[in-house]
Homo-oligomer: A and B are copies of this chain.
Amino acid sequence: MGEAAVSEAPARRSRGTRRDNAAKPLGVPYIVRGIPTYDVLSEENLQKVERTADRILAEVGIEFRDDPAVLDHWKRAGAKVEGVLVRFEPGMLREIVSSAPAEFTQYARNPVNNVQIGGKNVVFSPAYGSPFVMDLDKGRRYGTLEDFRNFIKLAQSSPWLHHSGGTICEPVDIPVNKRHLDMVYSHIRYSDRPFMGSITAEERAEDSIDMARILFGADFVDRNCVILGNVNVNSPLVWDGTMTKSLRAYARANQAAVIVPFILGGAMGPVTNAGAIAQSFAETLAGCALTQLERKGAPVIFGNFLSSMSLRSGSPTFGTPEPAIGSMVVGQLARRLNLPLRCAGNFSNSKLPDGQAMQEGLMSMLSAVHCGANFILHSAGFLDGLLSMSYEKFVMDADVCGALHSYLAGVTVDDNALALDAFLEVGPGHHFLGCDHTMRNYQTAFWDSTLSDNEPFEKWSEEGGSTDMATRANRQWKKTLAEYKAPPLDEGIDEALCDYMERKKRSMADAWY
């Protein structure tokens, strides 16, 4: 059972933050879960889903477009290739992915921030990919490099996120063909946590990895994972050449691709959960196998992103119950492959950091945590159906990530926690406020949110200004940005990175689409 793992949690852990304490609270580099995963499907039904995935792969197949090298890989591996359509005998892809590691380390430039991906480990990473940003003061507008850097700084300042993420928002003030350089540089410059590189073109993936080589050294990068690339299937059942070329670039460099189908049930997949899960499994399995054909033993993360749609309006919906419970099944399937899992994070289609935003977000986020996801992209910031990063939601979600540190620790059972001495001391009818056991334990006992208001109504309305959580979040992100200090970076490395960027930028004309 999972709770045994509590004792394995890194010693650096320190729960509770204090609003009145200026010292930066310390989190942990990643969570080691103390509770088991939530398995909802029986062995018999899991096998039915797997057999359906096998039949999709064998009878329908997957198209791999615009990347002939992939078709060569599949031919050599024994798949049936007709044009761009590839079909797979049952068991073939499972055999191929068995060479991928079940768990691996992603290194950070500050080694205390290295994360362990796989097994019982959970890594929270910010949201990824929105063109817009929003806050309560200025509303919604296109993201800029300044916004991008602000979110890196907010993530770096939070003790409850473990990863700097990738395209936290699109910096649309930088040309499309050059912005990956600024993004990777900004992650390195303003954070000392692990990060992700570009996947929008093979050469941008290569640039991202080259910059990681400048930071870590080429030999180290060839032997260790230092950068992730998040590649999407073009569901249903199509892999585009842009994605497979990037996927192969990461695998070739021994870096981890994260393989993610984005299935809106009813559009890119069936409206029934079991079918969407089987499809997702088939698509991801093929992508994971491809990394192993490119470089056997390369790390890879089995990804998942189920969602539903409103069949009245055609709008995508997020944080709804069907994907939340469906993700539990995806978790069970990924563990049977012995691969690290990425799952649904903190999503909402709300356009404000309101009740809808937090309800849908938590439904989705708890699902990721329960299903056993090891790498939770989109842990903080998303609103507006993935189209906007919200400054307020970002810090509200980071606070939820803090609560989840306590939640995932589970229930410790030992003599101190069982507290028999306290009952013998206090006895019936007396309070525990001043007893020895309370004095020994209260500082670490309970998660202490920095954004929830727990004051009595009168104090909240008279002294607190009757604020809602979003208003308090607005104050918090501004204060955090004002107090941010960049982690030190070796000047020689900084110069080398800037030189690389300048040289690359000079070699290209600006492209804006």
| Chain A interface (Cβ < 8 Å from any Cβ of B) | 1-4, 18, 20, 35-36, 38-43, 45, 48-49, 52, 55-56, 59-63, 85, 132, 140, 234, 236-238, 265-279, 308-313, 315-317, 320-322, 324-326, 328-329, 349-363, 366, 370, 384-385, 387-388, 396, 400, 403-404, 406-407, 409-414, 416-420, 422-424, 426-433, 437-438, 441-443, 445-449, 451-457, 460-461, 466, 468-470, 473
Contact = CB atoms under 8 A, between A and B. Distances in A.
Given A1-B43, A35-B325, A317-B454, 20 more contacts: A3-B41, A18-B312, A236-B428, A236-B429, A236-B432, A269-B432, A271-B437, A272-B418, A273-B412, A308-B445, A311-B445, A315-B455, A320-B446, A325-B410, A350-B453, A351-B453, A351-B466, A352-B468, A356-B453, A359-B361
Contact of A316 (B56, B271, B454, B457): B454
B411 A41 contact: yes
B411 A277 contact: yes
Given A4-B42, A352-B468, A411 B273 contact: yes
A414 B273 CA distance: 11
B275 A418 contact: yes
Contact of A321 (B41, B407, B441, B442): B407
Given A349-B452, A419-B270, A428 B358 contact: no
Q: Which of A20, A238, A326, A411 has the most CB of B within 10 A?
A: A411
Contact of A447 (B39, B320, B423): B320
A403 B320 contact: yes
Number of copies: 2
A321 B358 CA distance: 15
B274 A417 contact: yes
A389 to B, nearest CB: 13
Contacts of A312: 18, 20, 448
A6 to B, nearest CB: 11
B355 A428 contact: no
Contact of A356 (B45, B309, B468): B468
Contact of A310 (B20, B272, B454): B454
A426 B236 contact: yes
A499 to B, nearest CB: 40
B403 A315 contact: no
A142 B8 CA distance: 50
Contacts of A277: 411
A454 to B, nearest CB: 4
A48 to B, nearest CB: 5
Contacts of A238: 428-429
Contact of A432 (B62, B266, B452): B266
Contacts of A457: 132, 140, 351, 384, 387-388
A346 to B, nearest CB: 11
Contacts of A387: 457
Contact of A40 (B2, B322, B429, B460): B2
